[in-house]
Amino acid sequence: MRIRDIILPEDQFFLQIFREISDKTVQASTHLTELVSDLEHGTGQTCQKIHQLEHESDELLRKIFERLEESLITPLEPDEIHRLAKALDDVIDIIDWVAHQICNYQLSGSYPHLGKFAEYIAISSIEIQKGVHLLGSWDEIREIKNACATINQVWNRSSDLLSSAVTELFTMQDPIQVIKLKDIYENLEEVLQECNDVGHVLNEIVIRHT
């Protein structure tokens, strides 16, 4: 067994922090679902909860990079730690951004496509959480790959969802509302793209360690 595959006690720090970030991503996606399901009430408070999670994630990210400078042996290669940290950060960053858009645009009414995007993001976030929590347990490789495959499947479906959502916009009479919703839909799809990027990083890490 290679020494880099032996997880020393101090090295658990990186894996634990990644797990905490993935947990916060799931929480943020849950709040996003709450946000789009009830646009009439409490959007500001829900947005603030998401923003707080994004801020906490940034703090965890800072700890990762600080610790990386001091560690001689890590459970993953330093470049893998950098890539996974950035990919996870990108997901929660854009969830925060799109929630901010929804709140600022002061949408009212019901938009089924918003709910479907939120559902896809919730699924992808949970699969990210599964994959990240299994890192370091290389006997669970199949489960990590399955999580990555599910993320990719959801991403593949998102292009059809965006197309359907944008097509529906052309039936609306209010051009300002059309612009707002198109912007939001495109950014929701971007969340799923970032989730898919995390899946790619996880899959590459698994391949490299087997």
pLDDT value, residue 3: 45
Write the pLDDT tens digit of every residue in 100-128: 999 998 887 788 999 999 999 999 999 99
Cβ atoms of 121 and 192 within 8 Å: the answer is: yes
Residues 136 and 189: their CA atoms lie apart, in Å, by 30
What is the chain's percent helix, strand, coil content, to nearest 5? 85, 0, 15
Which tokens is 146 given? 């399955």
pLDDT value, residue 73: 65
pLDDT value, residue 163: 95
Numbers of helices and strands, H then E, in the chain: 6, 0
Q: The pTM is what? A: 0.91
pLDDT value, residue 71: 67
Spans of the chain, pLDDT less than 70:
1-11, 42, 71-73
pLDDT value, residue 42: 59
Residues 122 and 17: their CA atoms lie apart, in Å, by 20
